[in-house]
């Protein structure tokens, strides 16, 4: 199938389709090579990377919840140096847009990581200021407009790559943070990260997850995500990568109508590893059926009057 | 004839050919999945998806048997939660999502391995015993004689069968670890490996005894999983070689690498 109606260019990143995969749900892309044409994706937001290796949280890390799941992996990753020296050269052959999701313990560390990743083979940097599962996951930067802006400035000062800020839904006013990041020079915004949640086993009276709380994702969060994408899209002029509970092409269409210029699929990759290809096919069919020349014609076209 | 690509994983909607209750809440499920039957190795597993929107995560289950001629794969599972209960309600003719084959299985190069299993851990060992075609013996442990059905499943596969039960209602009274030293020290014993699948406490005990007898020991670990492909890191563990993923690097590991 031709993807002509889906070609997209955002901040200089040429995308075969505006369908990406969300960080933490798709490894480094290579794990899904049996199921997905990785070069057909708009990009792979790879597993959250930190300055030093992290072993993540102990105990149970994942549990299914009604129409979704909770996780508390805790940013387990081999560190940026292993990523640069081993992972990046290994995944080059897939010719996908590699978007590196980074978390820092300090504003300076975001700048340092962004600088280290300003290399060939990296398409963009995604700033994770919204991991609910670790203290150093940046959530302190993601819940305050000034701190989020400082992280954006630090990254922008150290890289020529497009900088995407990933917004947390665990805030009172997501729009104020989005606007502060745009003003600080963010090239794009991605939203939403997981919603903080918790499950208790009523027999043992213990939390299911080893870290007590975790990040809620899956179809159950989609209405929250659509609402936040819509609100943010009213307030900023930079492109939005919408995500949160997308598991079929119909969900993706909603995000475009709400104002997203691209979408990312997360939890649904666990349910069906090839789901992103089905979503691309479904978007093509939808555009053709409705005589819409290009996916860009859908962006922000929700009618609220 | 083209050889199957042994590392290729598939995700298919597989038709159920048989669903049978072997014992209370223990089911044997067979599906038509020729791609998986052709390549699955003993000790590997699949991720089953109940094809209904309210299930977000798949359920990992070991491969208990394959029939390459008929293109069928069999799993044995216990209905313990919402997912496995829904699985048990599926009828022949209906479909279930099968993602696999996944992970790394047991070593198949031994000349006379002893398989040790407890509870549902005996399920993947069925396929190991079948593949060893009579060259493997099995030591199985259960709570009571109610778990007799396992002996019937292992009987046609050749090899000798040893049984322990916690209450002594069948075989030797005690645990697999009670009988294991006798088996390894018997005059005619010629075991060259111990392959284990069962509760972690049992596997640790067995591994210790195997090590004391200088025998290689492989254990099959169980951990909550998300993707099953090594991407989500839900099933990361510490090993002698650093962090590893049960779904991709395991589920079978040399005991000394994971029981530190």
ipTM (interface pTM): 0.93
- Across the interface, whether the CB atoms of A62 and B229 are under 8 A apart is answered no
Inside any domain, residue B1: no
Domain A4-298: which topology? TIM Barrel (3.20.20)
Of B57, B227, B232, the CB nearest to A64: B57
* pLDDT exceeds 90 at position B131: yes
Number of domains in chain B: 2
Which chain A residue has the Cα nearest residue B55? A67
pLDDT value of residue A136: 57
Task: Read off the pLDDT of each residue in B125-141 and give the average, rounded to a whole number.
Answer: 97
The pLDDT tens digits for B100-120 are: 999 999 999 999 999 999 999
Touching check for B5 and chain A: CB below 8 Å?
no
**What are the start-end ranges of the H helices in chain B?**
34-39, 82-88, 122-132, 149-154, 176-185, 200-212, 255-258
Residues B199 and B242 in one domain: yes
**Co-location of B79 and B163 in the same domain:** no
| Cα B156 to Cα A20: distance, rounded to the nearest angstrom | 50
The rounded percent of chain B whose pLDDT value lies above 70 is: 98
pLDDT of residue A133: 61
- Using the 3D structure, point to which of B35, B67, B102 is the last residue of a domain: B102
Closest partner residue to B8 (CB to CB) among A34, A267, A274 is A34
Whether B1 has a pLDDT exceeding 60, the answer reads no
Q: Which of A157, A156, A150 is nearest to A187 (CA)?
A: A156
If asked whether residues B64 and B98 sit together in one domain, one would say yes
- pLDDT tens for the 305 residues of chain A, in order: 689 999 999 999 999 999 999 999 999 999 999 999 999 999 999 999 999 999 999 999 999 999 999 999 999 999 999 999 999 999 999 999 999 999 999 999 999 999 999 999 999 999 999 766 666 556 678 889 999 999 999 999 999 999 999 999 999 999 999 999 999 999 999 999 999 999 999 999 999 999 999 999 999 999 999 999 999 999 999 999 999 999 999 999 999 999 999 999 999 999 999 999 999 999 999 999 999 999 999 999 999 98
**In CATH, what number is assigned to the domain containing residue B60?**
2.40.30.10
Residue B2 domain flag = no
Task: Give me the mean pLDDT over the B191-212 stretch.
Answer: 97
Does residue A27 contact residue B235 with C-beta atoms inside 8 Å?
no
What average pLDDT does this structure show over B173-180?
A: 95
Contact between B207 and B184 (Cβ < 8 Å): no
Considering the domain architecture, whether residues B87 and B142 belong to the same structural domain is answered as no
Is the domain of B18 the same as that of B67? Answer: yes
Q: Which residues contact A91 (CB under 8 A, 6 or more apart)?
A: A28, A29, A30, A98
What's the rounded Cα separation, in Å, for the pair A151 and A142? 9
Q: Are B15 and B235 in contact (CB under 8 A)?
A: no
Three-state SS string across A185-211, please?
Answer: CCCEEEECCCEEEECEECCCCEECCCC
For residue B87 the two structure tokens come to 């699985």
For residue A27, the chain B residue with the least C-alpha distance is B231
Domain boundaries, chain A: 4-298
Q: Let me know whether B98 and B125 are in one domain.
A: no
Same domain, B94 and B120: no
């Amino acid at each position: 199938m031709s993807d002509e109606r889906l070609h997209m260019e955002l901040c200089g990143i040429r995308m075969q389709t505006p369908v990406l995969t969300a960080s933490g749900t798709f490894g480094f892309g290579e794990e899904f090579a049996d199921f997905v044409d990785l070069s057909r994706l708009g990009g792979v937001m790879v597993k959250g990377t930190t300055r030093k290796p992290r072993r993540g949280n102990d105990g149970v890390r994942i549990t299914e919840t009604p129409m979704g799941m909770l996780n508390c992996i805790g940013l387990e990753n081999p560190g940026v140096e292993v990523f640069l020296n081993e992972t990046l050269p290994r995944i080059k052959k897939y010719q996908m847009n590699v978007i590196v999701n980074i978390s820092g313990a300090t504003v300076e560390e975001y700048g340092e990581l962004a600088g280290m990743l300003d290399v060939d083979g990296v398409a963009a940097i995604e700033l994770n200021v919204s991991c609910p599962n670790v203290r150093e996951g940046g959530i302190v930067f993601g819940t305050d407009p000034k701190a989020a802006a400082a992280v954006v400035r630090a990254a922008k000062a150290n890289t020529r790559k497009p900088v995407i800020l990933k917004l947390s839904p665990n805030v009172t006013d997501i729009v104020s943070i989005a606007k502060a990041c745009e003003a600080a020079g963010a090239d794009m915004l991605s939203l939403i990260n997981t919603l903080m949640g918790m499950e208790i086993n009523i027999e043992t009276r213990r939390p299911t997850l080893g870290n007590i709380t975790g990040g809620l994702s899956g179809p159950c969060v989609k209405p929250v995500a659509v609402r936040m994408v819509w609100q943010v899209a009213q307030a900023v002029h930079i492109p939005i990568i919408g995500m949160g509970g997308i598991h079929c092409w119909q969900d993706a269409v909603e995000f475009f109508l709400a104002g997203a210029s691209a979408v990312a699929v997360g939890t649904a990759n666990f349910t069906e590893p090839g789901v992103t290809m089905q979503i691309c096919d479904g978007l093509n069919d939808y555009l053709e059926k409705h005589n819409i020349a290009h996916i860009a014609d859908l962006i922000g076209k929700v009618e609220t009057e | 004839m083209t050889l199957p690509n042994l590392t290729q994983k598939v995700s298919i909607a597989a038709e159920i050919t048989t669903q049978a209750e072997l014992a209370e809440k223990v089911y044997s499920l067979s599906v038509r999945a020729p791609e998986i039957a052709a390549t699955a190795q003993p000790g590997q597993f699949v991720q089953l998806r109940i094809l209904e929107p309210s299930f977000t995560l798949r359920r990992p289950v070991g491969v208990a048997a394959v029939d390459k001629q008929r293109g069928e794969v069999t799993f044995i599972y216990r209905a313990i939660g919402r997912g496995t209960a829904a699985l048990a309600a599926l009828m022949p003719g209906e479909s279930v999502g099968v993602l696999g084959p996944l992970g790394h299985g047991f070593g198949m190069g031994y000349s006379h391995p002893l398989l040790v299993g407890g509870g549902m851990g005996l399920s993947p060992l069925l396929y190991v015993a079948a593949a060893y075609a009579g060259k493997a013996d099995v030591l199985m442990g259960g709570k009571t004689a109610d778990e007799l059905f396992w002996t019937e499943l292992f009987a046609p596969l050749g090899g000798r069968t040893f049984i322990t039960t916690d209450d002594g209602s069948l075989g030797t009274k005690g645990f697999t670890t009670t009988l294991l030293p006798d088996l390894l020290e018997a005059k005619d014993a010629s075991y060259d490996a111990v392959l284990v699948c069962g509760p972690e406490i049992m596997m640790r005990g067995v591994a210790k005894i195997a090590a004391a007898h200088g025998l290689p020991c492989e254990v099959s670990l169980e951990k909550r999983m998300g993707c099953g492909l090594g991407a989500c890191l839900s099933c990361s563990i510490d090993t002698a070689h650093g962090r590893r993923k049960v779904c991709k690097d395991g589920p079978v590991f040399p005991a000394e690498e994971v029981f530190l």
